[in-house]
Structure 1
Amino acid sequence: MRFLATLCGACIWPILALGQGASVPFEQISTLQGLSDNAITKLFQDRDGFLWIGTEYGLDRYDGHHMRVWHKRDGLAGEHIVDIVQDGKGTIWAAAREGGLASFDPQGTLLRTFKPDPKIPHSIANVRITCLFDLNDSTMLIGAERTPLIFLDKRSGDCRYWKGEGPILASDGLLKPVSGNDWCHFISDLGDGRLAIGFLLTFRQLLVEKKTGAILGSAFNLGLPEDQTIIDAVRIGNRLFGGGWQHDLHVRDLTSGDDTVWAMPDECTTLLAADSEELLVGTASSGLLRIDLSHGAQDLLRHSVSDANSLCDDRVTALLMDREGRLWVGTRNGLSVHAPARWWANSFPLGVGAEEGRSSNAFSIAEITDGELLIFTSAGLYRKEKDGPLRYIPLELGSVKLRPTGVVRMGDHFILGAEEGVFSWNPTDNAVSPWPIASSGSCESERDADRTGMKPPSLFQIRGMFSDTLNGRPALVMGVRGYGIATLDPEKGRLEWYVNNPTAKGSIGNNLTNALARDRNGEYWVGTTYGLYRWNLDRILPRNTFTAFLADTGKGALPANDVTALLAVVRGPLWVGMRNGGLARWDGRSMHAFPLPEPAGNSVFGMALDRIGRLWCAARGCFAVLDTASATWTLVPLQGNSGIPATPACTRTLGDGRIAFTANGSLQLFDPEKVKSPAAPPLPYLTALDLADSTVLSQLIGGVLHLGSQAGMLQVSVSALELVPLSPLRYTLELEGVNSAPRFTDVSGSIVFASLPSGKYRILARTVSANGLVSPAVEVAIVDKAAPLWQRWWFYLALTALAGAIAYAASRYNYHQKLKLQLVRNRIASDLHDEVGSSLSAITIGSQLAKQLGNGEDQRMQALLSRIGETSSKSLRSMSDIVWAIDPKNDQGEALVKRMRRIANELLESKGVEVSFRVIGGVEELKLPMNARKELLLIYKEAVHNASKYAEAQSVVIDLSYAHSRLSLMVKDDGMGFDVALHPDGHGLGSMQRRATTLGTVLHLLSAPGSGTEVAVQLDLARLRD
């Protein structure tokens, strides 16, 4: 996969398009950022944009965020890397001084190592390698000590050796090395089919035809002493430059053949063509030398202990200009990089001598005549003419060193505000003197006489000044920390201040003034540590009257009370910056809040409006830029990398449209229109895949990771290629179809997925910039986790089959049990009918015959026989009902309905009682449990019997209905009725109640004398079982 670096942020200008002697700021990379070692030996950028770094203790690949490191234990042939190249097929080759070579694919997978091995014929000789050159598709040309040139067959690994004369060609090479004293320093491609090859001794520097290996002559016509040599050469235009172990730079005109020598301040270690007009020379101990080829001028860039953005060391060992115009400088003590896009403002250090660049409190920046800037700090005054240098002006009054905070011009005078009060300042000689004060004090002092001759307080900290008029006289309005707001009549020397007075309604609520502004209506706004206050200078009385704007006062209130910055736009709104409250806008009627984007915090420390309507808000470590038309934010990180992010101070727009501010101990100036909008973040890629603390990255097959069902926690790590990011990137990872939303990684770009579900799903990664821009989703891997046995398809099939078999067996068992029960019920019913029924019938018939045969003389005998007959008849009828109830063929509701109709006919209709029998809701289709059928039938029979025997009813209504699993029975007659309270257990009522209880329900009985009787019961069939 190919990854392309993304440029974002400010515009990019030529790396060395700076004036002679100008500073080139660098950022530093060391072992703290993951380098294998601080001693850099080689720098190389591959075709995908990754930076490969050789050190004395390993090989590194850097993407701007993530450092991947290889040591000998990771497969390197050796750890002191001397050269890195990429061949035509994309393979990366890294040579170690002692040990051989290693090759990698473009993704960084180690392919092969080439080491000396006596057991392998034609393996590379045991030599100290110095350089590499990709000669053609099949041959890697290797420079070394003792055996100067080696031809490595990239496919077979076989080596041949140059014999020291004749063409430099693999086919003419020897199978065994010829040991000597010479060695090869460099192999440089001149770009015209020729190579320049430099040797230590005998062979000097040769021009060689690349294709045939023919030696064309000397690269330099020099007679160097034996202790000197050229160790590197580079072509720029038609000149070949060479430098080495002498304080000279040798220049060969490739057309005329003329040689010249330029004096150098130190030995040359490496050369780089910055462009067609500039040569960069690394030196042994004097830093980086820039040479203007058009004029021959030289300029040294060196390490400075007091400058964190200087070179990290003066011992330069490697140089690289990457494809985006960034300069990388390898040294003996770390790696430095200059990225023009990171340095979008011109920087001018504040301070002098040892104090240069040291941070002091900056209060404000003012612009006076002809674009001259004044910077007011706790250390004094700095002046900078439009195109001139920055000059430091200490302001002293006797033994007192003033701390100026601002200046305002009133007529021909400049009034200087300071931490110590109000002064007169002469811009010609920078002389200062106290402004004469005739009277001073609070505006609410009882008498002017009390203030006459009084001096203002010794600590009278001015925070903003405006010239104005009051009653036709000039007036100076000042914000004063600790004294609210103050006015000065400069002619009379009358100074008054307006402070908080708890007893005065409408006075300012807080005296700690942070900022002062005057709006388009001439009204003043005072930002304090507790609230924003509006004040009118022209108010008659009382003068100490303010309008307060505070937080937590309802809709449209100020977001926070600690006001840190104010900006009143001409013919526009008032902008309010707050600590932990973000930004707010007052449009004349209400306050509107604009919270800052999360990476910027939510505090505003200064503001400047550019010419296209963007509001630059000074925030922690950046400018949060609000497009006032669309209300959208963009973050612009402060340039460079000085450790802890600084906060811009004293932000203001200049007359020419530039914006000035202070940060990191410097004055910063930039053109906001040249700061580009942020580009889309780079695409993420996979850097690591760990399962239970063991890497499984190598187990990816076609991008798919196959895991067993017992696989546990999976750690996924990603990064993105952006060699010098303008701001930190964040990443999200998502298990597609598993996670409801993408999850942010930790700061290292990793996430641990603690519980991986079985199945096949993609891992999607996204990059998120500080501005909230999100890259497209990238599939970094596919996880295919095997399901446990109980989740396999065949397991469910087998489980289904087993469940079916169990259900079938249970069904068959239940069927057989029911069949046995039915046979038992049939036998019981038959036995009761045949045995008990026939015996009761015989008793009944016998009692009747005995009665008929008797002579009727014995009345007691007749009564006894009648009772025996009635009892046996009644028992026979009851037995008939029981036999009917337990007979399986009567389980259906249809049998119940027929039985009830038959009873109604026998007991009611046969006696002339009109019967209304209604069946509703499919009762006939019901299958009724035996017990329910028996008890319900007996309740019904008792109710009908009562209606027949006692009620003297003319009509009876019988309702039998079914709905919602409930079977309801109601028997209602129009008979004589009775008082239920007087007969709680008579007429079989107790028996019916007990039967209802057996069925889990309640018998409802309604009756009154002369009103008939209603008996009702309702059964929940879902709860009833046999």
Structure 2
Amino acid sequence: MRKIHVAKHSEKDMINKIFLAFIFGLLFSKYAYNQENNFKYEKITTEISRVEKGLSQNTVRNIFQDSKGFIWIGTWSGLNRFDGLNFKIFLPDINNPTKSISNAVINALAEDKNGFLWIATESGLNKLNTRTFAIKSFNEIAKPFYKNHSDTIYSLHSSSKYLWIGTHKGLVLKLNNKDSFFVPKTFVNTKYIADKEIRSIVKFSANQLLLGTNDGLVIIDINTFQIIKVIRTPTISSNSILSLLKIDESKILIGTENGLNRLDINKMINKVIKLDKNSLPYNPDLIMAMIKASDSLIWLATSGKGVFLLRNIAKSKYSVEKLKAENLNGNRLTEEIREELYYYSLLKSRDGTVWLGSAWSGIFKLVSDKNIFEGFQKSNKGNGLSDNQIWSFYNDGDKLWIGTQKGIDIYNKTSHKMTHLTSRGKIGYRFSSNNIRSIFKDSEGHFWIGTFQQGLNKYFPENGRIEVYLPEAKNSHFVADATVWKIVEDKHKNLWMATHNGLQMTNLTSGKTIVFKHNPMDSTSISNNVIYNVYFDKQGFLWLSTFDGLNKFDTKTYKSIIYKHHSANKKSLNTNKIFAIYQDNSMDYWIGTIGGGLNYINHKTNEITSFTTKEGLSNNIVYDIIDDNFGNLWLSTNCGISSFNLKNKVFTNYTVSDGLQSNEFNFGAALKDNFGNIYFGGMFGFNVLKPKDIQIASNNLKMLISEFSVNNGTTIYYVLPKETIRLNYNQNSFSIRFSLLDYKNPNKDIYQYKLEGVNNEWKTANSDDPLINFYKLPPGTYTLQVKGLNSLGVWTSDSKYKIIIKDAWYNLLWLKIAALLVIAAILFMLIRNRIKRINFEHESEKQLLELESQTLKLQMNPHFIFNTLNSIQSFILQNDVDKSISYLSKFSKLMRLLLINSRESNISLESEIYLLQSYLELENLRHQEGFDFVINVDENIEKEFIGIPPMIIQPFVENAVIHGLLPLKERRGKLQISISQEKNFIKVNIEDNGVGRNYYQENQQDKLHRPSGILITQKRLELINTQFSDKSSLKVTDLKDEQNNSLGTKVEILIQFTNIDDD
């Protein structure tokens, strides 16, 4: 955090102030009239040019600034809080009278030592908590003490012990620490207080309080409550007092219904002050309000005659001046302040802004027109500037040199005289041209003056002699080009000149001159001959800004390192046309370009970052760069002045509305003098900026939270600095509104924030309404950091607020422990059940393996093998070699496939179909082609990627052949196998036209016997079903005709399948 130290005024500071004051008042014609009554003007009414509401009503009865900086405005219909951008309005609520103000007419406002705002109304007193906006009303507070009492309250005054309350019928006191009221007997028993309207209460001394009533001025002792003195007519002009103001230790101003009085209380000498020549009995001066703007300036608001300014009113010689529209600068509404004559209230806020509360036209806000930029132009009176076009500056001790379009103006800070140097005069004592572009004083005390297209001039101040250097000169008075933009000197007495045709070095001792130009054959030569600027950095390198690139020039080797724009490199310069060069305290470089804005070069990495209008720069042509020593770079551009904060990387832009001579400035016309003042010259004069004064004026600058709203409900309207905000778990959505309480130019303010844990980068809030929202943040501790930039270009220090969002009740520790125990118990049960499940699955797999082994044994039973071998033998004996070889080959493939499949838990459907095909071919061959068979597979089935248990279909096929088809006598046997897919199942239909199950059961010897293969396969299916949620199934149907004769058997199998990879 940057600390700002305000030093005592030294002799150097005093010289600086005298210098600036003199040129402000005598030598230059300021285009902004710089007196105490000169203001920028803004009107605030019920309708303003923003979406937000304006004032609740336009009759402004009182204006008050609280200790936090908020402006409170009491009107004929409602109370308003104003933070510079937004209004909060308070009105009576008939549905909730105890929690709203008791009456809409606000007569007076005061703040007690505890920070509560007290509101005096036409019917009752109100206490407002400025943090929560909670209101407590007090009615008929005078009733217990005065026989004739009133609930109308006119005035309030807060002291260390009491709140003094002036009512329509007497004075009431309240203890600061209690909401209890009392009235001293001395007040009740005196006619000067009881039954009197107490309109104004002012502390005059440590022991004295002044009461302005409708029947004179009453002076009371604060401690004893005794009446010290009563002052009435004819001592003062009227007993009906409207306002009071202390002006020094002995004098007060008394505003009455019949004029203004200046009373010396100690001497009891009164002076009636007439505001104008029409101050006659039939046209009295009604003094409604008064404020002290300074020791010498008083503001008066009248009802009927407008606003007046009183100067040196405490002295015998004073002046009275009416505030007029011509005192207000550049506002189209200024005529309204001339026409408005009726005012009720005044305030000078802590930033110097004057607020005029009118009777019917709202508030006139007058911002003192002391711009941060002092402007100077040519004057037709006196010995001022020669011309408004300013091209260069040079600071020479107590002299300021100013290069203009019509010669050089030299201002002597000691004698306050201006000297003009021009091209007029005899030869040898006049410049080659008045069109000045550069001024430099060498180490020998001579001045070098560069002109535009008319050569270089060497000026000898001791005798006024001038030597002219031209490009066509054949002698030592040679210069590389007739236009010389900039001149600097190194420690070896070499002058380095930026010209329009190369870089020139001239040694002051020897007179030797070298001109460096671009050589396309030498990459280390300067990049371009048009050189605008020469600048020595802290390492001694000479930097050249040219029309085609930036050059880092080594004055020892005469070689350059060139920086240029490269489209393929985003970290290069964004343009080759360069004006300004500056090296900051971090040794990094800042480059002002023609069209590319501001470029930053990191001296460690040489990486370049650009800042243009997209980042907030006022214009992409940057003429000059000046460091203000307070962490800001000030840039003169082709569209105003931009301030760039080096820490926050934020621009603040200034235009003619901020006091600039013009929005257009000139290259080379920039200077920081020995006092730290910054000068920028342009086409219509020049501006002076005093960064030190800006920092002093912003010493009390602070950023605050003006509204903290939770879930669009509960709202805090002021959050204390470093306060911890505690929220419940269901209050995790909230909005925050900021304020700088900047009343001068709030639309230029910039607000930044970051909520650590949510966004760790600084973000910028909307300047028109700095409101940010956070939604559904998880419980935890957050740190909100906020900072602001005011209209003067000064940053506040970072303000930090801790926000704690509590966990929900169900996240409490004991509840978490209980929940963990329950979860542990559930996990134990799940694990135990899982173990049981694993054991069951293991046992099922074991049984499944046994069944698969039994299936294999059935497939490889001796009977099948014996019959097969007999068939092969028969073919051999019949000398049928082809059939025997074919049969033997198929038999071997079948045996090998059975063995391979028996090792797998799942095989492809393709493999199972091949096994079936092989088996049926062997059986058909063995039985002399005794039956026909066909296997139909749905073409949409990807057989190679579908996995099923091995040998799950074959037993049913074997049963159909052996027990269905082979016993068939009267018809040829047929077997049809159909395979399709239904969701996660393979559906297999095995249909034969054999003898049927009844024939088999009637002709077998063991009636209870069932084929072993089918029984084993059924058990396998049952075990498989334990592994899947979707169940496999088996259905056997006897096929019969109408006479119940057997037509065969149909077996339907649904088999759960798995996917197998193609690899």
TM-score over 0.5 (shorter chain): yes
1:737 and 1:30 map into 2 onto residues whose CA distance is: 43
Answer yes or no: is 1:250 the counterpart of 2:262.
yes
Aligned residue runs from structure 1 range 505-904, under 5 A: 509-510=527-528, 513-517=531-535, 525-533=543-551, 548-552=562-566, 561-567=576-582, 576-578=591-593, 579-584=596-601, 591=606, 605-608=623-626, 616=633, 618=635, 623-624=643-644, 642=657, 650-655=669-674, 659-661=678-680, 667-668=687-688, 670=690, 675=695, 682=702, 684-685=704-705, 687-689=707-709, 695-697=713-715, 716-720=735-739, 722=741, 728-732=749-753, 734=755, 745-747=765-767, 748-753=769-774, 756=776, 765-769=784-788, 774-779=798-803
1:280 to 280, 298, 303: 298
CA RMSD of aligned residues (A): 7.3
| Deviation by residue 1:41-86 (Cα, 9 ceiling, x = unmatched) | 5343334444433456653334466543335679555556442112
1:112 and 1:507 map into 2 onto residues whose CA distance is: 81
Q: Is the 8 A contact 1:600 1:635 kept in 2?
A: yes
Q: Is the 8 A contact 1:760 1:782 kept in 2?
A: yes
Structure 2 counterpart of 1:960: none
1:365 and 1:69 map into 2 onto residues whose CA distance is: 53
1:636 and 1:998 map into 2 onto residues whose CA distance is: 74
Distance 1:236 1:772, change over 3 A: closer
Structure 2 counterpart of 1:372: 399
How many residues align structurally? 801
Q: Which amino acid aligns with 1:334?
A: F
Answer yes or no: is 1:193 the counterpart of 2:207.
yes
Distance 1:122 1:521, change over 3 A: closer
1:639 and 1:111 map into 2 onto residues whose CA distance is: 43
Aligned residue runs from structure 1 range 218-257, under 5 A: 218-219=230-231, 223-225=235-237, 231-234=243-246, 236-243=248-255, 250-254=262-266, 256-257=267-268
Aligned to 2:799, the other structure's residue is in SS state coil
Structure 1 counterpart of 2:120: 95
Answer yes or no: is 1:985 the counterpart of 2:892.
yes
2:580 and 2:407 map into 1 onto residues whose CA distance is: 22
Q: CA deviation at 1:687?
A: 1.1
Q: Is the 8 A contact 1:61 1:69 kept in 2?
A: yes
Aligned to 1:985, the other structure's residue is in SS state helix
2:765 and 2:247 map into 1 onto residues whose CA distance is: 46
Q: CA deviation at 1:234?
A: 1.4
Q: Which amino acid aligns with 1:93?
A: W
Q: Is the 8 A contact 2:392 2:439 kept in 1?
A: no
Structure 1 counterpart of 2:111: 86
Q: Is the 8 A contact 2:517 2:528 kept in 1?
A: yes
Q: CA deviation at 1:135?
A: 8.3
Answer yes or no: is 1:463 the counterpart of 2:463.
no
Aligned residue runs from structure 1 range 277-356, under 5 A: 280-282=298-300, 285=306, 288-291=309-312, 307=329, 328-330=354-356, 332=358, 333-336=363-366, 347=374, 349-352=376-379
Q: Which amino acid aligns with 1:730?
A: Y
Q: CA deviation at 1:217?
A: 1.9
Give unmatched runs, 5+ long, in structure 2: 26-33, 95-99, 278-284, 426-431, 719-723, 790-794, 868-884, 916-946, 951-1019, 1027-1063
Q: CA deviation at 1:227?
A: 10
Identity of aligned residues (%): 13
2:472 to 400, 416, 439: 439
Q: Which amino acid aligns with 2:673?
A: L
Q: Is the 8 A contact 1:52 1:61 kept in 2?
A: yes
Distance 1:666 1:236, change over 3 A: farther
Q: Which amino acid aligns with 2:551?
A: Y
Distance 1:288 1:584, change over 3 A: farther
2:462 and 2:88 map into 1 onto residues whose CA distance is: 59
Q: CA deviation at 1:423?
A: 7.5
Aligned to 1:197, the other structure's residue is in SS state strand
Structure 1 counterpart of 2:1032: none
Distance 1:210 1:282, change over 3 A: same
Q: Is the 8 A contact 1:366 1:407 kept in 2?
A: yes
Query: Which has the larger displacement, 383-392 or 106-115?
Result: 383-392
Aligned to 1:168, the other structure's residue is in SS state helix
Structure 1 counterpart of 2:88: 68
Q: Which amino acid aligns with 2:374?
A: S
Aligned to 1:776, the other structure's residue is in SS state strand
Q: CA deviation at 1:189?
A: 1.9
Structure 2 counterpart of 1:856: none
Q: Which amino acid aligns with 2:394?
A: A
2:416 and 2:616 map into 1 onto residues whose CA distance is: 32
Structure 1 counterpart of 2:129: 105
1:86 and 1:769 map into 2 onto residues whose CA distance is: 27
Q: Which amino acid aligns with 2:624?
A: G
Distance 1:83 1:513, change over 3 A: farther
Aligned residue runs from structure 1 range 379-528, under 5 A: 383-386=410-413, 404-408=436-440, 416-419=449-452, 421-422=454-455, 439=472, 462-465=484-487, 477-480=497-500, 509-510=527-528, 513-517=531-535, 525-528=543-546
Structure 2 counterpart of 1:168: 187
2:378 and 2:451 map into 1 onto residues whose CA distance is: 19
Q: Is the 8 A contact 1:397 1:432 kept in 2?
A: no
Distance 1:733 1:517, change over 3 A: closer
1:625 and 1:945 map into 2 onto residues whose CA distance is: 99
Distance 1:409 1:935, change over 3 A: closer
Q: Is the 8 A contact 2:533 2:544 kept in 1?
A: yes
Q: CA deviation at 1:478?
A: 3.9
Q: Is the 8 A contact 2:545 2:578 kept in 1?
A: yes
2:610 and 2:262 map into 1 onto residues whose CA distance is: 61
| Deviation by residue 1:778-837 (Cα, 9 ceiling, x = unmatched) | 33x8589999xxxx99xx99x999x99x999x99xx99xxxxxxxxxxxxxxxxxxxxxx
2:404 and 2:625 map into 1 onto residues whose CA distance is: 18
Q: CA deviation at 1:335?
A: 2.6
Answer yes or no: is 1:53 the counterpart of 2:73.
yes
| Deviation by residue 1:164-203 (Cα, 9 ceiling, x = unmatched) | xx953499999xx97xxx8554221223333212235xx2
1:986 and 1:495 map into 2 onto residues whose CA distance is: 105
Distance 1:699 1:289, change over 3 A: closer
| Deviation by residue 1:897-954 (Cα, 9 ceiling, x = unmatched) | xxxxxxxxxxxxxxxxxxxxxxxxxxxx7542644421234447878989x999xxxx
Answer yes or no: is 1:936 the counterpart of 2:961.
no
| Deviation by residue 1:712-753 (Cα, 9 ceiling, x = unmatched) | x9561322565569984535475x988898976544232344
Q: Which amino acid aligns with 2:216?
A: R
Aligned to 1:463, the other structure's residue is in SS state strand
1:209 to 199, 202, 221: 221
Q: Is the 8 A contact 2:259 2:272 kept in 1?
A: no
2:128 and 2:851 map into 1 onto residues whose CA distance is: 91
Aligned residue runs from structure 1 range 4-15, under 5 A: 11=6
1:673 and 1:131 map into 2 onto residues whose CA distance is: 38
Aligned to 2:851, the other structure's residue is in SS state helix
Q: CA deviation at 1:706?
A: 7.4
2:779 and 2:750 map into 1 onto residues whose CA distance is: 29
Q: Is the 8 A contact 2:456 2:484 kept in 1?
A: no
2:332 and 2:237 map into 1 onto residues whose CA distance is: 35
| Deviation by residue 1:952-1006 (Cα, 9 ceiling, x = unmatched) | xxxxxxxxxxxxxxxxxxxxxxxxxx9999566368445445656884278999x
Q: Which amino acid aligns with 1:85?
A: A
Query: Which has the larger displacement, 379-388 or 187-196?
Result: 379-388
Distance 1:123 1:352, change over 3 A: farther
